[in-house]
Amino acid sequence: MKRIKTAKQLTFTYYSIVAFAIVAFHFSMFESVIENVETIYAENRMLKDRNTAIEQLQGTELMYISVPPFSEAYVGKASLPAGVVLNTAMTDDKPYELDDSSDTNLEIFSMRSQVMLNGKPQEVYLLHYDEIYETSEVQMFKTQSLQLFLSILLLVVSLWVVMRIAGRLTQPLALLSDNLGKRTPNDLSPIALPEGAVTFEVQQLVERLNAYQNQINTMIEREQAFNRHASHELRTPLMVMKGVATLLGKSNSKEFLERQRQRMNKACQEMEDYISTLLSLTRAEDVSSIAYRLVQRKEFEDIRDAHLMYLTSRSVTVELAHKGQIMTKLPVPAFHILVANLLKNAISCTESGQVTIEVSDQSLAIIDTGCGLKGKPDGESYGLGLMIVRGLCTKYHCDFCLVDNDGVGCTATVTFPQPR
């Protein structure tokens, strides 16, 4: 497996590469400038000395002449000193250093020119050596070496500063990593910002980690809520099914058996609806992709009729006021459970009087004349029922509120989002 480097190691590596590139570029630029300056100087000097040599050679039979202070002119290649080997790529009127095979260690430049000498075309060769320039070049290299040393020293100091800065910038990340490593799997408390030079990026990372942790915590709470809801809400249909199973063995009447079969089918359907709804609360779904559907009046009537058995000895009536239509993304089982829980809670809080299911455009209100929010509802279903309602409203982006009426009782209202 490839070893992952630390931020300090990466900083040192990248800075070293950049520093080496800067030094190499600096040195190569200086070397290039020195070479170019020397060539340009030699070319201009030799062209001037060539013209001087031609003037002095005109009208003479001389094959060699010295052009003080740094040049010598030779007529014809044969007159060149022994040991001088010209550059094979030489062209006219351009300075070239002698070939490496020449018998000299000096940086001597040569130039060939085609001239008219004493009325004849001749080749004139110039050899140029500037001792003063060479001495100056050595001095420039020494000066440049000092500058190079100072540059390297400055780069080293800069590297130390950059490493210190990198250390301060990465320290919060290291502390954050240590903090996360020490946390137990059950520790879902918010992650604190580490000490040190905390940057915006580190702060943003901690916020994202806390948001992600909150999502995990929400999922755990959903699963725990599912277990609580399931254990309570499924108890009633299971008891109905057990009772029906017991009664089936005590009578052979077809009417009685048909009645018990219907009760068992109803209990099974109720259990199936609760399971699918509770499971949907624990799943992360893309609600935006679900199509809207129109809630039919019969759905409210079926829910009301199914809960009339909770009235038993109470003098409570359940009325349905259908004043508008509701378009919703809630599936049929989830919608039935939402309305059923609100209706069940209203009935359990009302000893006598009336419970009204009021349907308006994109709004559902369950109005009762019971004990209100300050009273104590019978049984545990009140709290768990509202938890399921709030969970469904949150998932499907509905607004839910529960308020006391001006007189008696309270009103539970669910407002559904407008279709788009």
The reported pLDDT for the residue numbered 9 is: 74
What pLDDT, in 10s, does the model give residues 367-407? 999 888 876 544 334 456 787 888 889 889 999 999 999 88
pLDDT digits (tens, 9 = 90+) for 24-62: 787 777 777 777 777 788 888 889 988 998 889 888 888
d(CA 225, CA 385) in angstroms, rounded, equals: 11
Q: Tell me what pLDDT residue 364 has.
A: 95
CA 90 and chain centroid, separation: 62
User: Using CA atoms in the order 344, 345, 350, 355, what is the torsion angle rounded to 10 degrees?
Assistant: -60
Tally the residues of the chain: 420
Only one residue has tokens 């003479």, namely 60
Determine whether 371 is exposed, middle or buried from the number of CB atoms within 10 Å of its CB (0-12, 13-18, 19+). Answer: middle
pTM (two decimals)? 0.46
Contact 386, 402 (CB under 8 A): yes
Each residue of 142-155: pLDDT tens digit? 766 777 788 788 87
132 in Cβ contact with 139 (< 8 Å)? no
Question: CA-CA distance, 411 to 420, in Å (whole number)?
Answer: 28
Which pLDDT does position 293 carry in this prediction? 93
Provide the pLDDT confidence category of residue 315 given band limits of 50, 70 and 90: confident
Provide the pLDDT for residue 379: 39
Beta bridge partners of 110: 96, 127
Reported as a single tens digit per residue, the pLDDT across 285-301 is 778 888 999 999 999 99
Which pair of tokens denotes residue 46? 């030799």
Mean pLDDT (the chain) is: 81
Q: Look up residue 277 and give its amino acid.
A: T
